[in-house]
Amino acid sequence: MKKHGKIRTLKWKMVRMLLFGWLLPLLALTLGMIFLVSSMVSSQIERTIQVSSDKAVEICDMQLREMVVASKNASYNPTIRTVYRNMKNNDGKSVQYKKAIDDFLSQQYKYDTRILGTMLFFLEEPEEIYYTFNTYQDNNTGNQGYERKEYFKDHIMKKVLEVGKDLDTGILLLEENQHLYLVRNLVDSSFTPYAMIVMELKTQDIFGSLESIWGVTGYEIYIDGETLIGNGIEEKFDKNRIEKLMGSSVYYNDHKEAFVYRTIRFENQKLAFVVELDSRSLIDETVLLETVFILALFFMLLLIGVVFRFTHVSVTGPISVLIEGARQIALGNYGHQVEALESSDEFAYLGRAFNTMSAELKYQFETIYKEELALKDANIKALQSQINPHFLNNTLEIINWEARMNGNDKVSGMIEALATMLNATMNRKQRRFVALSEELSYVDAYLYIIANRFGARFQVDRQIDESLLEVPVPMLIIQPIVENAVEHGVEENKRGSVSIKIYSDRGKLYIKVSNDGVLTQEDREKIQRLLGDSEDKTDEPHVSLGIRNVNRRLKIIYGEECGLTIESDEENRTVSTLIVKLSQENNSSQ
């Protein structure tokens, strides 16, 4: 015996090894690395978002300034100015003037996908609007170009004329119902406005670069405090904080909501951009995180190696010995002893307990199993002995009646049938199993007597697989079932038929006995009582006791999956089915 002062238990070995050899060092390293990585990742995220936001806003600004340059083409190109001067000198309108303006607008603006439409009108005749609309935008939309013009005329024109009075040669971005217009005056040589050009911009293209900001989920744009594009962000974000802000983008994150915002000056207006970000997003790959993962993997591999060896020496080895011992017992080697297990106190105890139980199992098997076999034989013999002699008395009366009335050879046949049945009942050789052919000979003897009793009023149909005739079956299991079929299917009407069908399926022998009787509810309750586990036999006729005994004998010999069932078939005939297992045990006749 080991001294109890030393810790030998498996539990404490594992706890000490995992705690001091792996868990504490790895935990300290992991916490330090997590803190360091979190700080670096947060800073990197902020820098990345600010840079991507600045670039995106710069692209938006560049797109707008390209639209400004496009609008200036109407001033720099003499076409509009020439048309205006000719119209004024000729004091009237001309189709050629309109065509010249339409051609100019189409050439300059029709094919720029960033421009939804361009309207031009002279201040002296604002009701005459010249326009062109983007080919790609209105190619499959019917009269959308005309509708845009009418919308501009009905809702935007008045506001454009008002702001144009103070616009001089400047540029103005005008927002109306989330429509964005770029407004510009056309002036003559004396800088007097004579016409206005209005370009409706496609905001998705102008501000689409905002979608490239890392982690963007939505954005809003304000022009001088008025919302141009809104996604409900202002309900989460106080836009007043950006009113006085100019310069680089500002990143805001309170761990619940994250934004980046920036304000730029465009001409004489302020454009404010607010972008909502996904605050839960994480950076997937970083060098530092890879280092953490590599270190973690190294320690995990080290732990796996150590635990593997420890398990092999202290756990797997002893368990393998116990498993081999259990396998030997499963093979029938009762009393098998395993070698002493000294890897730990627990396995040493299990080894001693295993050897003790194995020896006890051998003793139990050699004594109790023999007693159970004897008890089973006694039960079978007791059940066989319960066959009532009432049938023999009736048979003798029939033979006696035949002898008195006829005096012919039929008596001899009936006596032989009776002798066959008497021999089977007495069972002088104490056999438990007989061949199926011999068991059927007892049934034939009984049916011979019944056939002589009822004559042509009784018919028997046999469907028997002859390859099964040598299969051993328990003695006297079919005759009581056939007798029950005759009593309930023939006796009441003094006529009827009985069919016997024998076949095998999936390792089992099926013996079906059918008769013309119809099962009533009372019959079904009686069957359930007879074939159940109840031991009450009072007031039961001998035939009922016979089917009870047959069922119990089959279950004792073959188990609960075999036995007797009594049911009705599709034709409402009563079918009694005996199920016998076809196994190696059946091949020995006892």
pLDDT digits (tens, 9 = 90+) for 75-116: 888 888 888 888 877 765 567 778 888 889 999 998 888 999
Residue range 28-54: average pLDDT?
77
Q: How confident is the model at residue 589 (pLDDT cuts 50, 70, 90)?
A: very low
Residue range 264-286: average pLDDT?
74
Q: How confident is the model at residue 120 (pLDDT cuts 50, 70, 90)?
A: very high
- N-terminal to C-terminal alpha carbon distance within the chain: 55
Percent of the chain clearing pLDDT 90 (strictly above): 13
- Output the pLDDT for position 242: 64
How crowded is residue 488: how many other Cβ atoms within 10 Å of its Cβ?
20
More confident residue, 370 or 57: 57
CA 432, 436, 438, 442 torsion-angle sign = positive
Specify the range with the lowest mean pLDDT, choosing from 144-153, 199-208, 221-230, 302-311: 302-311
Residue range 196-207: average pLDDT?
91
Q: How confident is the model at residue 226 (pLDDT cuts 50, 70, 90)?
A: confident
- Output the pLDDT for position 493: 77
Q: How confident is the model at residue 570 (pLDDT cuts 50, 70, 90)?
A: confident
Residue range 219-228: average pLDDT?
83
Percent of the chain clearing pLDDT 70 (strictly above): 72
- Output the pLDDT for position 87: 80
Which ranges in 91-239 belong to alpha helices (H)? 95-109, 135-138, 144-151, 157-164, 203-206
E strand segments, 247-400: 250-253, 258-266, 269-277
- Output the pLDDT for position 471: 92
Specify the range with the lowest mean pLDDT, choosing from 123-132, 225-234, 242-251, 342-351: 242-251
- Output the pLDDT for position 5: 45
Tens-digit pLDDT profile for residues 329-385 = 788 787 788 887 777 777 778 778 878 887 877 777 766 665 555 445 545 554 554
Q: Which residues contact 542 (CB under 8 A, 6 or more apart)?
A: 387, 388, 390, 391
Residue 155 vs residues 35, 137, 148: alpha-carbon distances, Å: 58, 21, 10
- In the chain, the largest separation of any two C-alpha atoms, in whole Å, equals 156
pLDDT at 197 over 90: yes
Q: Are 189 and 171 in contact (CB under 8 A)?
A: no
Specify the range with the lowest mean pLDDT, choosing from 54-58, 69-73, 186-190, 425-429: 425-429
More confident residue, 46 or 311: 46
User: pTM for the complete prediction?
Assistant: 0.46
Specify the range with the lowest mean pLDDT, choosing from 17-31, 180-194, 408-422, 515-529: 408-422
**Residue 278 identity (one-letter amino acid):** D
- Report strand pairing: 258-266 vs 250-253: antiparallel
Residue range 566-575: average pLDDT?
89
Residue matched to tokens 């199920």: 579
Separation between Cα atoms, residue 312 and residue 343, nearest integer Å: 11
Q: How confident is the model at residue 285 (pLDDT cuts 50, 70, 90)?
A: very low
Separation between Cα atoms, residue 552 and residue 556, nearest integer Å: 6
Q: How confident is the model at residue 182 (pLDDT cuts 50, 70, 90)?
A: very high
Across 2-6, 88-92, 223-227, 308-312, the highest mean pLDDT is recorded for 223-227
Q: How confident is the model at residue 65 (pLDDT cuts 50, 70, 90)?
A: very high
- Output the pLDDT for position 358: 79
Mean pLDDT of the chain: 77
For 587, the 3-state DSSP assignment is helix
- Report strand pairing: 458-464 vs 193-201: unpaired
